[in-house]
Amino acid sequence: MSEDQTPERERTGWDAAVAIAKGMGTVFKQTFRSDNTEQYPNEIVPSPERSHVGRHLLNRHENGLEKCIGCELCAFACPADAIWVEGADNDPADPVSPGERYAKDYQINYLRCIMCGLCVEACPTRALTLTNNYEMAYTSREDAVLTKEQLLEPPPPLGTVEVDREGR
């Protein structure tokens, strides 16, 4: 309705009343649509299998060696300063990862993490990926900092972690 178009008929109170009635009819029709709400703690709907929206996972090579080389690029990329990496030299006789370096310590603080995925983009060896597990509720600050051992394991299935499920 720009000004160079032919001017429309002036809108009257009757037009407004018709518009309001139409709007109320549209809203009323919405009543009969099915609801989108998921009753979360009672009925747990998993996010799509290949979605990358949840907890991190430290991957391994097929021969069991860790992919992480302790480069700390993920920690540098992290805007929330949620990742702590401590690199160390591999023992050539019993290497943890292929190459010279490996991560001696690796922690992610989920009270800080904002799930932006920049760490995953920064990782040169695809060692760090996101999973589709969205259950990241913890009852203490210590629990919210996941250690390297926990991050190496795939997250437990949805609904199995014993946290305080209020109201279930």
Partner 1 sequence: MDWIDWLLLVARIVIVFFALLIAVLLYIWVERKVIADMQTRTGPMRAGPRGVLITLADGIKLFFKEGITPTDADRPVYLLAPVLAILPAFLAFAVIPFGTGVTIAGREVPFQLADLNVGVLWILGMTSLGVYAVVLAGWSSGSNYPLLGGVRSSAQMISYEVGMGLALVSVLMYSGHLSMSEIVEAQGRVWNVIPQFPAFVVFLVCALAETNRPPFDLAEAETELVAGFHTEYSGITFAMFYLGEYVNTVTVSAVAVTLFLGGWRGYWPFHGAWEWLGPLLWFLLKITAVIYVFILVRATLPRMRYDRLMNFGWKVLIPFGLFWVLATGAIVVLPERYGRARGSAIAVAAIVGVGLLLSMLAPLLKDRQEVPA
Interface ranges with partner 1 (CB under 8 A): 13, 20, 23-24, 26-28, 30-31, 33-37, 39, 167
Least Å distance, CB 4 to partner 1, is: 17
Pick between residue 6 and residue 37 the one whose CB is nearest to partner 1. 37
Q: What share of the chain is helix, strand, coil (3-state, %, to 5)?
A: 20, 15, 60
In the chain, alpha helices (H): 13-30, 73-77, 118-122, 141-144, 148-152
Least Å distance, CB 145 to partner 1, is: 31
Pick between residue 40 and residue 76 the one whose CB is nearest to partner 1. 40
Least Å distance, CB 20 to partner 1, is: 7
Pick between residue 16 and residue 114 the one whose CB is nearest to partner 1. 16
Q: Report CA 168 to chain centroid distance, whole Å.
A: 24
Task: For residue 70, count other CB atoms closer than 10 A to its CB.
Answer: 23
Least Å distance, CB 36 to partner 1, is: 5
User: Which amino acid type is present at position 69?
Assistant: I
Beta-carbon contacts of residue 161 (< 8 Å; ≥ 6 apart): 135
Pick between residue 10 and residue 94 the one whose CB is nearest to partner 1. 10
Radius of gyration from C-alpha coordinates of the chain: 26
Pick between residue 25 and residue 92 the one whose CB is nearest to partner 1. 25
Least Å distance, CB 21 to partner 1, is: 10
